C-alpha cells in the first residue's frame, strides 16, 4: 500500500497542519482544488512547480479509484470503488427530477448490523472507511454527474459506528475551502454543502445519536426503524435492536430534536406480510408521539437469499403498500412512500453489495472505449 497521506479527507485546519510550514493560504488553495475536482497536483496551476513536486512526494490527492460504473434507466448511477487495500465499496447518485442529484455515500465496507432484509448486512463488517475514502466517493460522483444537490449517508455500513471519520468527512464536505478566489475557488465554493442538505441514516445507535445531539454536526437525521414493535424489531434487526431498545432510542431522538429542532425521518422498510399489521401501525403511532417525524415507507427491494424465520422475504404488493401508507396517514402520521430507484443495477435501498444483474447497463471502466 502507498504510505503517502491522502488529502481529500482532511478538514481545512488539519490540512493546514499537514502542509506546515507552508503558509495557511496554500492549504486553502489545495483544499479548493480538491473540492473543485482536481485529481493531481499538476492541475493546481497557482502552486509553483517546486511545491507541486514536493507535495506529490508526500501526499495523494485521491487514493481510491472507480473500477466499474452502472447506470439505471431511472437516472441512477452506481460506482464500484476500489480502496487502496483492494477492498471494494459501492456508492450511488440518485436522480430526482431533471437536475437534482443526491449522493448516497458508504461509511463502512460491509456492515455489522445484520438486518435480515439488507444485503450489505449479510456481508458482515470488513472495516470502517477513512474520512478520505468517504469524501472521495462524493468527488467521484461529482466527476460523473457534474453536480450534487444533497448527500445522504445511507450506503454501505452504519454511519454512527464510524462517527469520527463521518464527522471529519462532513467537515470537509461543508468546509468550502476558505472562500473563492483563484485556483478552483468558484467551483469549490459551489461544491460546499450546507448541513441542511446532508442526512445521516442510522439503524438507531443511541450513543451516536446522543453524540450528534450534544456535539453535532447539526445534520438531518433518519432512523431505519422498520417497526416500532420491539419484539419484531429484534427479530428483523437483531444487532441494532438488542443494543438499542426503543425507549432509549426515543429518548435519544427527543434529545436530538430538542438540540437541533429538525424533523426526523423514520424509515419503515415494508416487508410483504411481515410488518404492515394493525399492531405495527399502532406501535409506530405510539413511538412517534411527542416527536416531529416524517414516515418514509420504503417498499422492500428484493435481494437473493433474504429470509425471515425460515421463509423467503417477499416484496409487498401495490395494494399492501397503499393500505399501509393510508393507515399511517389515518393515524395522524405524515407519510411518504419512497419510489424505488436503482433496483435494476442492484443499487436500491438495501441492495448495495449484491451482485450487479448481468443485464444492467454497464458503462465500464472510466476512460475505457465506449
- With CA atoms as reference, report the closest residue to 35 among 58, 55, 62: 62
Q: Is 90 a catalytic residue?
A: yes
- Cα separation, 143 vs 226, in Å, equals 34
What would the grid cell of residue 205 be?
Answer: 445507535
- Cα separation, 231 vs 274, in Å, equals 13
Residues 16, 71, 90, 133: which is the catalytic one? 90
Residue with cell 413511538: 287
- With CA atoms as reference, report the closest residue to 297 among 334, 325, 261, 329: 325
Q: Where are any strands of DSSP class E within the chain? A: 5-6, 59-60, 65-71, 77-82, 88-96, 100-104, 108-109, 127-128, 150-153, 198-202, 220-224, 264-270, 293-299, 307-308, 311-312, 335-337, 362-364
Contact of 101 with 191, CB cutoff 8 Å:
no
Residues 111, 115, 118, 349: which is the catalytic one? 349
- Cα separation, 313 vs 305, in Å, equals 8
- Cα separation, 323 vs 320, in Å, equals 5
Residues with a known catalytic role? 90, 349
Amino acid at each position: 500500500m502507498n504510505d503517502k497521506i491522502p488529502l481529500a479527507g482532511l478538514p481545512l485546519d488539519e490540512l493546514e497542519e499537514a502542509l506546515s510550514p507552508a503558509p495557511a493560504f496554500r492549504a486553502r488553495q489545495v483544499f479548493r482544488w480538491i473540492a473543485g475536482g482536481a485529481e493531481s497536483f499538476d492541475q493546481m496551476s497557482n502552486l509553483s512547480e517546486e511545491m507541486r513536486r514536493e507535495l506529490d512526494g508526500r501526499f495523494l490527492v485521491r487514493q481510491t479509484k472507480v473500477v466499474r460504473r452502472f447506470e439505471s434507466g431511472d437516472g441512477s448511477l452506481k460506482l464500484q470503488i476500489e480502496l487502496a487495500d483492494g477492498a471494494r465499496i459501492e456508492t450511488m447518485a440518485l436522480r430526482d427530477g431533471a437536475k437534482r442529484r443526491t449522493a448516497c455515500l458508504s461509511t463502512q465496507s460491509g456492515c455489522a448490523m445484520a438486518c435480515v432484509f439488507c444485503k450489505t448486512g449479510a456481508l458482515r463488517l470488513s472495516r470502517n472507511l477513512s474520512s478520505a475514502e468517504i469524501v472521495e466517493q462524493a468527488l467521484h460522483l461529482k466527476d460523473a454527474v457534474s453536480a450534487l444537490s444533497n448527500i445522504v449517508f445511507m450506503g454501505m455500513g452504519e454511519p454512527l459506528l464510524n462517527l469520527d471519520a463521518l464527522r471529519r468527512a462532513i467537515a470537509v464536505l461543508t468546509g468550502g475551502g476558505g472562500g473563492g478566489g483563484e485556483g478552483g475557488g468558484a467551483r469549490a465554493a459551489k461544491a460546499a454543502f450546507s448541513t441542511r442538505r446532508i442526512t445521516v441514516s442510522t439503524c438507531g445507535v443511541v450513543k451516536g445519536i446522543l453524540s450528534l445531539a450534544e456535539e453535532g454536526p447539526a445534520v438531518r437525521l433518519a432512523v431505519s426503524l422498520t417497526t416500532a414493535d420491539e419484539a419484531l424489531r429484534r427479530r428483523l434487526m437483531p444487532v441494532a435492536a438488542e443494543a438499542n431498545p426503543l425507549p432509549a432510542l426515543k429518548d435519544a431522538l427527543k434529545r436530538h430534536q430538542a438540540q437541533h429542532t429538525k424533523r426526523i425521518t423514520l424509515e419503515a422498510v415494508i416487508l410483504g406480510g411481515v410488518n404492515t399489521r394493525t399492531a405495527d401501525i399502532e406501535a409506530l403511532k405510539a413511538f412517534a408521539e411527542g416527536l416531529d417525524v416524517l414516515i418514509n415507507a420504503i417498499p422492500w427491494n428484493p435481494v437473493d437469499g433474504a429470509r425471515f424465520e425460515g421463509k423467503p422475504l417477499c416484496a409487498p404488493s401495490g395494494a399492501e403498500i397503499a393500505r399501509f401508507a393510508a393507515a399511517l396517514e389515518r393515524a395522524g402520521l405524515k407519510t411518504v412512500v419512497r419510489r424505488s430507484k436503482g433496483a435494476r443495477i442492484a443499487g436500491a435501498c438495501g441492495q448495495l453489495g449484491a451482485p450487479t444483474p448481468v443485464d444492467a447497463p454497464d458503462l465500464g471502466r472510466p476512460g475505457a472505449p465506449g
